[in-house]
Amino acid sequence: KQQEELSIEALVSSLREGNRKALAQSITLVESKAHHHRQKAQELVQGILPYTGSSIRIGITGVPGAGKSTWIEAFGKLLIKQQMKIAVLAIDPSSSLSGGSILGDKTRMEQLSHHPDVFVRPSPAAGTLGGVHRMTRETILLCEAAGYDVIIVETVGVGQSEGMVRGMVDFFLLLALTGGGDDLQGMKRGILELVDAIVINKADGDNRDKALTARGDYRGLLHYLKPATPGWNPSAYAASAFTGEGIEEVWNVINRFVKETKESGAFENRRSSQALDWMEQMIMDRLYEEFIQKEGRKDQLAILKEEVLRGKLLPTEAAAKLFS
């Protein structure tokens, strides 16, 4: 026990010095499913908690093909020039960070990831949604303790993960293409009402005019929707990871967002409610886990669901049977 506590302490101080190896080890610990690792991981994250919270947390989503990895690379390079340290995390196994190697994306992201001020981490190996959620949130805290100024959380946005990402970042950005609403058809319902900005990517060459038209369309569309962040009117921008046009504008928008929401209190309010939501999610996950682990429970649940589906049993009655 003494030794374990020492090693956690050593990890905390290495982390705070910005040691990349310590950061990678810490994340591996946080992602481990072994029970004794879990306990150690909790100790570690609790230990670094006082040194967290000062980064800007940015979520980036977009359909596959929207050019997320090249865009993040261009955006990252700009931040590095401004002496910032950035961490890029992926939340789902199909994101460009983790799965993009097939399309050659990995090479591009590796170029960025070799820079000393950049830390790139693919998504944790498959787990429950709640598990990935927890791991990513804890990883954000670890990166903050290690001195990263901007944390980018990338998601493909086709599953249930955007709501999760929205729940852990300050600023949520959608990368879209010029196809107008058509390229959103694959996205989760309600995505537009989660975003703080839409960036039309690939606004270069022959595509530039179309991107500017799409920007106008999206601006009109956003007018109809309730803003995701109180007091902040989301808008659409055009940018090109290839020419670099518009990248700095997006960074300026993010900085203005942070300044305005910190002044209005919306920034802190969101962080607070995110922490409470996380806690509640952990409680519900734990309750369900304990419930479903009971001998024979899964089989019973499957049978009862079948009866509900066949219209033989009322859903409330089926639920009641599980508790009797």
In the complex, the residues that contact its own copies under the rule CB under 8 A are 42, 45-46, 49-50, 53, 134, 137-138, 141, 180-181, 184-185, 187-190, 192-194, 217, 221, 223-226, 228, 272, 275-276, 278-279, 282-284, 286-288, 291, 304-305, 308-309, 311-320, 322-323
Residue with tokens 């810490």: 26
Q: How far, in whole angstroms, is CA 81 from its chain's centroid?
A: 24
Residues in the chain, how many?
Answer: 324
DSSP 212-276: HHHHHHHHHHHHTSPPSSTT---EEEE--TTT-TTHHHHHHHHHHHHHHHHHHSHHHHHHHHHHH
> Taking phi first (over 0 means left), then psi (-120 to 50 degrees means alpha), and beta for anything else, what does residue 272 get?
alpha
Least CB distance from residue 254 to its own copies, whole Å?
21
For its own copies, the closer CB: 248 or 307: 307
Least CB distance from residue 145 to its own copies, whole Å?
12
For its own copies, the closer CB: 20 or 305: 305
For its own copies, the closer CB: 198 or 241: 198
For its own copies, the closer CB: 222 or 247: 222
Least CB distance from residue 55 to its own copies, whole Å?
14
Residue 123 DSSP one-character state: P
For its own copies, the closer CB: 106 or 137: 137
For its own copies, the closer CB: 102 or 276: 276
Residue with tokens 């537009």: 192
Question: Could you give the C-alpha distances from 127 to 30, 31, 131, 257, in angstroms and in order?
Answer: 13, 10, 6, 33
Token pair listed for 36: 């004794």
Least CB distance from residue 280 to its own copies, whole Å?
8
For its own copies, the closer CB: 34 or 279: 279
Answer yes or no: are the C-beta atoms of 29 and 134 closer than 8 Å.
no
Least CB distance from residue 89 to its own copies, whole Å?
17
Residue 157 DSSP one-character state: -
The SS3 call for residue 83 is coil
Handedness of CA 298, 92, 140, 175 (dihedral sign): negative
For its own copies, the closer CB: 60 or 187: 187
Least CB distance from residue 147 to its own copies, whole Å?
18
Please tell me the distance from the alpha carbon of residue 249 to that of residue 299, in angstroms, as a whole number. 55
Least CB distance from residue 223 to its own copies, whole Å?
5
Least CB distance from residue 216 to its own copies, whole Å?
13
